[in-house]
Amino acid sequence: MNPIYEKLEKCFESYKAKIDFVPKVALVLGSGLGDYAESIRVEATLDYHDIEGFPVSTVPGHAGKFIFGYVGDVPVVCMQGRVHYYEGYAMSDVVLPARLMKMMGAEILFLTNAAGGVKQGMHAGDLMMLTGQIGCLVPSPLIGPNVDELGVRFPDMSQIYDLDLQRIVRRAALDLGIDIKEGTYMQFTGPQYETPQEISMARTLGADAVGMSTACEAIAARHMGMRVLGISCITNLASGISPNPLSHKEVQEIADAVAPKFKALVTEIIKAAGAE
């Protein structure tokens, strides 16, 4: 058997032995959304450490557990803490959680992150819905023997972010009076923030926001036929646009300040997406 699938199956069995829950929406919590669990009617939690073979984050503050429960009537699985490529994991491990949540039953992958704003008119504290992505600066999570159990060798990526879900996001933002931006997300490996020259390149190539996650998870999810939705919290203007040096502390502070608005939006979206 494909070793990647074998590892995934082991994780799934480990999960199955402990949790009896079928989620519809899988939500990955980026910076600032860490305490979104407060918005969920929690049924169960599962520490990543308790899943055999599951990659566990090394970043301080990235607590690692799955939270199972309901947002309104919608069954969700939430990832509190994700692993990043810059931590040194193989790309197949970075996307293992997304694949596992599909195996749990999730049909929709809702990705959130913190990102640097590149587009003109973007401000720290804005939210940006992802309409497209540039993921080719990082290795594809699909490199290696294809996992036929998950999807085809050469999957189409012409519309990674689901158009119906995008409509739901626009409607939810409108209802909540949130002015949501839209644009293309570009994934860098990190962990260093970009240079101003790299940001010039990103802008020239069509990026509206930059970050260190998400695009690889979206590719893995589309490979499996999941519907994907992504929202970035713009925590800072990207390198060279901002007059100040970038810091993780600033990113976290802005993410925390935006969290109430972001959480309200996420809840509205999940309720609407789950009712479809």
Cite the active site residues.
Answer: 31, 62, 84, 86-87, 114, 212-213, 236, 248
Among 130, 224, 246, 272, binds ligand HPA (CB under 6 A): 246
Question: Running DSSP on this structure, what letter comes out for residue 43?
Answer: E
Q: Answer yes or no whether residue 133 interacts with ligand HPA by CB under 6 A.
A: no
Instruction: From residue 93, give the alpha-carbon distance in Å to each of 114, 144, 185.
Output: 21, 13, 21
Length of the chain, in residues: 276
Question: Running DSSP on this structure, what letter comes out for residue 38?
Answer: G
Among 29, 101, 115, 160, binds ligand HPA (CB under 6 A): 115
Segment contacting ligand HPA by CB under 6 A, of 34-42, 60-68, 147-155, 230-238: 230-238
CB of 199 to ligand HPA, least distance (A): 8
Instruction: From residue 150, give the alpha-carbon distance in Å to each of 56, 90, 92, 138, 158.
Output: 23, 18, 13, 21, 19
The Cβ of residue 136 has, within 10 Å, a number of other Cβ atoms equal to 12
Among 127, 173, 202, 251, binds ligand HPA (CB under 6 A): 251
Token code pair at residue 142: 């699909």
Among 25, 33, 46, 238, binds ligand HPA (CB under 6 A): 238
Segment contacting ligand HPA by CB under 6 A, of 32-40, 42-50, 68-76, 208-216: 208-216
Among 110, 185, 193, 262, binds ligand HPA (CB under 6 A): 193
Q: Answer yes or no whether residue 116 interacts with ligand HPA by CB under 6 A.
A: yes
Please give the Cα distance from 50 to 46 (Å, whole number): 7
Beta strand 74-80 with 41-47 is unpaired
CB of 164 to ligand HPA, least distance (A): 28
CB of 256 to ligand HPA, least distance (A): 13
Please give the Cα distance from 206 to 62 (Å, whole number): 30
Question: Is residue 263 within a helix (H) or strand (E), and if so which, with residue range?
Answer: helix 248-274
Residue 197: partners with Cβ closer than 8 Å, 6 or more residues away: 240
Binding residues among 138-157 for ligand HPA as defined by CB under 6 A: none
Phi, psi of 113 (to 5 degrees): -160, 175
Segment contacting ligand HPA by CB under 6 A, of 15-23, 57-65, 89-97, 109-117: 109-117
The footprint of ligand HPA (CB under 6 A) covers: 114-116, 193-194, 210-212, 235-236, 238, 246, 251
